Every structure is written in structure tokens, then in C-alpha cells.
Chains A and B, each alone.
Chain A
Amino acid sequence: TQLLEQSPQFLSIQEGENLTVYCNSSSVFSSLQWYRQEPGEGPVLLVTVVTGGEVKKLKRLTFQFGDARKDSSLHITAAQPGDTGLYLCAGARSNYKLTFGKGTLLTVNP
């Protein structure tokens, strides 16, 4: 059973466009983390959201945690080729496990 559903799975856009990636679950998480993975490397943490309704901004990236702490979104404004990569959401619960979504592979074309 996949606890975290990420959508879309693939996204190819032109430089300058905006996009949103969604991470949904029927389970409540104590926190939700977003990672970016570039080819040939391991995932790197972008942000952690903890409080329901929380919004965090990282330059052109905006992360939101749902009020019920079951879902999250990542919005990128004016995407650039350097944003290309695999975006992973991961939910933390009390059992020490971090459950990852299947990822969104983003390609930003110049």
C-alpha cells in the first residue's frame, strides 16, 4: 500500500512557467519533508513542514502543509532549467520510518 501519492509523476515544462506538485495521503504525518534528487546523486532536503496549514518559502519554491497534516504541495514560480530533478515528498510518523512518495520527475526546458 502506497501511503503517499505524488502527482504528477512526470512534468516537462518550458522555462518561466509555474508548476505545482502534490503529495496526498489518507494518513496523518507528524511532519512532511520535501527532497530534490539530481541524476547520479542522493536526495537532498529542501524543507520540512510541521504545523498544519504551514507555508514555507525557499526563493521561488513555496511549500504548504495541509490543515489536517495529510497532504502537501510544492509550487515553483518561473521555473528554471536548474530546477530540473526528481522531487520527493516524505512523511514522518511516530514509528521512526520516513515514507517516501514515488516522486515527480521535473524537466524544465530552456
Chain B
Amino acid sequence: DTAVSQTPKYLVTQMGNDKSIKCEQNLGHDTMYWYKQDSKKFLKIMFSYNNKELIINETVPNRFSPKSPDKAHLNLHINSLELGDSAVYFCASSQIAGETQYFGPGTRLLVL
């Protein structure tokens, strides 16, 4: 029983392509997040949704667009992928915004 799941786990694609990463949580949490972890392991928040409403939107290129069809799902769509987008993207959820985060296993994105 995976609490927070992400697909795909690995994503290798060409520059300029559009790709999506999906996230689902079965914890009944109200808040979900997307984080980006760079090669130096720095974990930085990108977006957060609370009950399908966007509550955090950091300085992220508008090529990145999150979508939350329901509170158990938060997907991330990336347009016109660039080399610098290569990183590990983590989805997380929490019962209360800003409190204990439960992370997914990550999606390793490599843009060639």
C-alpha cells in the first residue's frame, strides 16, 4: 500500500518536448506539493495545492503547470523542456499545509 505514488519513476526525453508527471496519495490528506531536488540535493518547493486550490506558487517558469483534478491527485505538466529541468521531482502530501510531509519516491527527469 503505497502512500504517495508517482509515475513515471524515470523520464528521459529530448529538449523541447512536453511531458507530464502524475502523483496520487491515498492518505486522505488535504494538501499536496511538488518539489524539485537538484544535483546538489537541494530540495525546493515549486507548488502546493490545498483541497484543489493553489496555495503556493514559487518562482517557477510558466512552462511548469500543476493540475489537481481532486485532492488525491496532483499532476505536473512541463512544456518545452530544457536541459536545466533535469532533476528529481518529488510529490508530497500533508494533512495540514506546512506540516509533516509524506514524500513519493521521486521522478528522475533527464533532458537531453
Query: Chain B at the A interface: mostly helix, strand, loop or mixed?
Result: strand
> Which residues of A have CB within 8 Å of B98?
92-98
Using CB atoms, name the residue of chain A closest to B100.
Answer: A45
Interchain CA distance A48-B98 in the complex, whole Å? 12
Against B, the Cβ 8 Å flags (1 = close, 0 = not) of A56-100 are 000000000000000000000000000000101010111111111
Q: How far is the CB of B87 from chain A (nearest CB, A)?
A: 14
A103 touches B43 (CB 8 A): yes
B1 on interface, CB distance cutoff 8 Å = no
B41 touches A42 (CB 8 A): no
**Which residues of B87-101 have CB atoms within 8 Å of chain A's CB atoms?**
90, 92, 97-101
B100 touches A42 (CB 8 A): no
Query: Chain A at the B interface: mostly helix, strand, loop or mixed?
Result: strand
Known contacts A96-B56, A97-B56; is-contact A44 B41 (Cβ 8 Å) = no
B48 on interface, CB distance cutoff 8 Å = yes
A103 touches B90 (CB 8 A): no
**Which residues of A16-62 have CB atoms within 8 Å of chain B's CB atoms?**
31, 33, 35, 37, 40-45, 48
Q: How far is the CB of B102 from chain A (nearest CB, A)?
A: 8
> Which residues of A have CB within 8 Å of B99?
31, 48, 92
B63 on interface, CB distance cutoff 8 Å = no
Which among B56, B98, B103, B106 has the greatest number of chain A C-beta atoms within 10 A? B98
A42 touches B45 (CB 8 A): no
Q: How far is the CB of B47 from chain A (nearest CB, A)?
A: 11
Interchain CA distance A5-B67 in the complex, whole Å? 32
Contact surface of B with A, Cβ cutoff 8 Å: 4, 31, 40-45, 48, 50, 55-56, 90, 92, 97-106
Contact surface of A with B, Cβ cutoff 8 Å: 31, 33, 35, 37, 40-45, 48, 86, 88, 90, 92-100, 102-103, 105
